[in-house]
Structure 1
Amino acid sequence: MKKLLLSALVCAAVSASPAMAEDTIKLKVIGQPLATGLIQKNKEQPFFETLAEKTGLPLKVNYKPLDTTGIKDVEQLRVLKSGMFDLVSLRMSQISRDEPTILGLDLVGLSPDFAQGRKVADAYKETVDERLQERFNTKLLGVWPFGPQVMFCNHPIESLEDVKGLKVRVYDQNLAQFVESVGGIPVPIGFGDVHQSLALGVIECAITGPSSANSAGWPEVTTHVLPLGFQMALNGYGINLNAWNKLTPDQQVTLQSAFDGLVDEIWTYSEELFEDAGRCNVGGEPCTTGTKFDLVEVPVTEKDLSIVANTVKEVSFPTWAEVCNKTNPECASDWKRDVGAIAGM
């Protein structure tokens, strides 16, 4: 009788424990939109398609790019929290509407280059992770960049000052505040709708990375590019905690290690794409990853650089902190603790 009781207890314990190594682990994954270009195509999708093989984990991954799902990027955290998908390639600026703390990763003027962007991401990602776990039942697996976001216009400009009075596509409130501060008219438009909006004259300018713009054909409907970095366009990977907790501790370590490797790879690849696409867009050589266009490259002036450098203290941090502290009272103080020294504050 005692043996039967012991056997039953062991079976019950096993059934309540995380997934054993031989169990199939199903992951429903949302990736970056196809329209965003080469990082999605050459790094992200192949990673998920070969994840089981590379890690040795018993995974069955169902990967879908965001723009094939009918789900909007601003809904990603809600989708993760609900468990509709297990893992999502998070578009940080867009989901910051649901969790303003996230935008502290990428305030306008905070990260003019990749080196600064990596420092900020590494310093602040744990704070973001804690907030996502607390409010959205989501663990942050890593943060990576599309690279410095620059301005494309179908209207002749010679400096940042010439944006005054022009309608400029933006993708988050922090960037909108900055565009307003230099006299532009911010217009929030999803990435997939920008090409048509530029072609129809709904907007005169739009901001994104050189590689994404090249892949989406923005140079077909613009004439000038101002290669002044406003934001780093950080993105990340989030996994629903219920899915994460089904893994054994060893499986969690293996999966996290795989994402660490992917993130490092994308940081390097993103910088290569940024430099190459920047040349492609203005007809330069070498141009190996994109389509060659003939945009006018607007020289970046010292005044332009100064305006963006001062933006963190004067515009982007104060306006963001006011909004963020309303939902997260420790928001500004946590950011200063983690990032203040890096930002020169």
Structure 2
Amino acid sequence: MTLRLPSKMLAVAALAAALVLPAAAQDRIKFKAIGQPLATGLIQKNKEQPFFENFAQRTGLPIDVDYKPIDTLGVKDTEQLRVMKAGLFDIVSLRVSQNSRDEPTLLGLDLVGASPDYATGRKVANAYFSTIDERLQKQFNVKLLGVWPFGPQVLFCKKPIAKLADVKGMKVRVYDQNLAKFIEMVGGTPVPVSFADTHQSLSLGVVDCAITGPSSANSAGWPEVTTHQLPLGFQMALNGYAISLKAWNQLKPDQQAKLKTAFDGLTSEIWTYSEELFQDALNCNQGKDPCTTGKKFKLTNVAVSPADLELVRGAVTKVSLPVWAEVCDKSNADCSKKWNATVAPVLGLK
């Protein structure tokens, strides 16, 4: 026997179903995210973008993200904190050194000489995390979710070099004030050039040398216009993920916890991947095997001398910390005091 429902009940059921669908759709949250530049290469391509494109799956949250690399947006990478504060985006893949003019406290994360290797870089990032988070929340209504590295930033030159001191009299592309002061100390002329413009600047002779990570250099074709690489790490190129407090406060406490766990997972993946890329890219740039992640070139690999290592390590106390502290303390009275209380002990500095 078939049970027939009255037509009025069917109409009510249909109306209820129609109302449920939009309600479920309305329950989904939409965020806009700024990514790393496409030009920076494999971390952006293989780790960051897939994470944001599968955001709901990776976080277990009903959140859809409109993710755009910054070099496709018409926004400068030096303006990330400003556009976040203005409420134009919800999540940012924060370029630390590029935004340090707007917030000098950020640069305490990556002073020249402070993170000569990955293990030290992790310790510095963990020690300084809460200081940056508090500052970003106070000044920009932005919460820090994680910190990760592009990896050691090394020197590429289109003129022969055998040691760091050979940059004396050369024009060197830099990306923050801290690095600029160090290059001045060793006799070079620092020239601020955006990453996207560096290949052309090398090609045209605007700069003689430039500093970035070996994998990013490979992806951007720097070895086409340079001849030598000196794999001496000046900085770890630490970057971060941050969310506007408006977007963060939209989430319930359990959702916030899920989001933080997902970003912890992503940043942990990037730390491991970055270290794998670093050595592989150094090989690729000089045409050696194994080379699995990049294109082979024929750069001369300059051996790092103990004297050069010592020069960079000594930069923390001689140049990078005093120069940065003077600038940072002007805008944030406790800036260097907090760094000395949190990061200095990790580095064995008194």
Aligned: 1:102 with 2:118? no
Identical pairs, percent: 69
CA drift at 1:21: 11
Runs of 4+, deviation exceeding 4 Å? none
Aligned: 1:199 with 2:203? yes
Q: Which structure 1 segments of 5+ residues have no match?
A: 1-19
| Count of aligned residue pairs for this structure pair | 326
Tell me the C-alpha RMSD between the 2 structures.
Answer: 1.1
Aligned: 1:247 with 2:251? yes
CA offsets 1:263-291 (integer angstroms, 9 cap, x no match)? 00000000000010011001111000000
Partner of 1:30: 34
CA offsets 1:98-121 (integer angstroms, 9 cap, x no match)? 000010000000000000000000
Partner of 2:216: 212
Amino acid aligned to 1:76 = Q
SS at match of 2:292: coil
Normalising by structure 1, report the TM-score.
0.93
CA offsets 1:7-65 (integer angstroms, 9 cap, x no match)? xxxxxxxxxxxxx9972111100100000000000000000111102322111210000
Bigger CA radius of gyration = 2
CA offsets 1:279-329 (integer angstroms, 9 cap, x no match)? 100111100000001100111111111110100000000000000000011
Of 277, 281, 290, the match for 2:281 = 277
Matches of 2:288 and 2:346 in 1, distance apart? 34
CA offsets 1:212-236 (integer angstroms, 9 cap, x no match)? 0000000000000011000000000
Aligned ranges 1:56-135 → 2 under 5 Å:
56-135=60-139
Aligned: 1:258 with 2:242? no
Partner of 2:140: 136
Matches of 1:76 and 1:115 in 2, distance apart? 28
SS at match of 1:30: strand
Matches of 2:344 and 2:126 in 1, distance apart? 13
Matches of 1:343 and 1:326 in 2, distance apart? 24
Partner of 2:299: 295
Asked whether the equivalents of residues 21 and 58 of structure 1 are also in contact (C-alpha less than 8 Å), the reply is no
Asked whether the equivalents of residues 22 and 58 of structure 1 are also in contact (C-alpha less than 8 Å), the reply is no
Matches of 1:320 and 1:55 in 2, distance apart? 37
Matches of 2:259 and 2:191 in 1, distance apart? 39
CA offsets 1:41-93 (integer angstroms, 9 cap, x no match)? 00000001111023221112100001000000100000111110100100000
SS at match of 1:341: helix
Partner of 1:184: 188
Partner of 1:174: 178
Partner of 2:290: 286
Matches of 2:94 and 2:207 in 1, distance apart? 26
Amino acid aligned to 1:114 = Y
SS at match of 1:342: helix
Matches of 2:60 and 2:166 in 1, distance apart? 55
CA drift at 1:344: 2.2
Partner of 2:337: 333
